[in-house]
Amino acid sequence: MKIGFIGLGNMGGPMAANLAKAGHEVTGFDMADVAIEGVTLVDSAAAAATGADVVITMLPNGQILRTVADEILPAMTKGAAHVDCSTVDVDSAKAVAEQAEAAGLLAVDAPVSGGVGGAAGGTLTFMAGGSNAGFAKAAPLFEIMGQKAVHCGASGAGQSAKICNNMILGVTMIATCEAFALADKLGLDRQKMFDVVSTSSGYSWTMNAYCPAPGVGPKSPADNAYQPGFAADLMLKDLRLSQQAAESADADTPMGQIATDLYAQFVESEDGQGMDFSAMLPRFEKRGRG
């Protein structure tokens, strides 16, 4: 397949490299000066999109996605597919999909889970929204870049699934960190706490697979001084997207809003910038009831 890939950063770069390694002809563009093995770089997003069977975008936010879409969609060949792997607001995802479909193109919003390690290893999970035809065209590429792709529904459904999942993740991590901090103050050994909760009704992914307490449970960023596996500022971005969507859909999400406010305080007013999102535990350790 001839693929245009726009946005060759920490996630997009390895994804594009994996497609090239699999034998696809990949033409890429990024605002930064990058070099990706097997990828032919061009000097504009439109040039990367011209003549491509599939154009993949991996961009920072919805406004940039809309701007890039204005440039690439007119350059694309009718019947080609635009696959956006960015994590953006649902409204932008839907708007760009409508714009693509009006231009005679297939549109898929397919945000990912798995982080930089998953991008490099080709083990990402894709949550896709769009038509059956769009998903079918993108599916062989998802198989190269990831280990699982779920077609969640119509355009916007991929973004909806991603932000609902990450709202649960943010809320659950806060609850897990609060519980460890409380256990400390009650004199309960952290390992004993883990042994009970990880096999009881309080078990969760944040406890069992990504434990925020160093030296407890499987190896996690807590064992590496909270260097990011999933950065707190990215969690804040996703939580803000969840609340933007909740506002748009008139959904009551009080826990999601509290989690958003706590991560905003942690990242913007405390020392959470550049830390893993599980570094909420040392934050709570240092705080009292007041």
Query: Which residues are known catalytic residues?
Result: 162
Structure-token pair, residue 225: 């001084």
Tokens of 55: 């154009």
Q: Is 114 left (phi over 0), alpha (psi -120 to 50) or beta?
A: left
Burial (CB count <10 Å: 0-12, 13-18, 19+), residue 150: middle
Q: Where are the alpha helices (DSSP H) in 124-253?
A: 132-145, 157-185, 190-197, 205-208, 232-249
Cβ-based neighbours of 48, under 8 Å, separated by 6 or more: 4, 5, 6, 27, 28, 29, 42, 55, 72
Beta-carbon neighbour count of residue 106 at 10 Å?
24
Q: Answer yes or no: are the C-beta atoms of 170 and 238 closer than 8 Å.
A: yes
Tokens representing residue 169 in the block: 């993740």
Report whether 28 contacts 39 (CB < 8 A): yes
DSSP 201: T
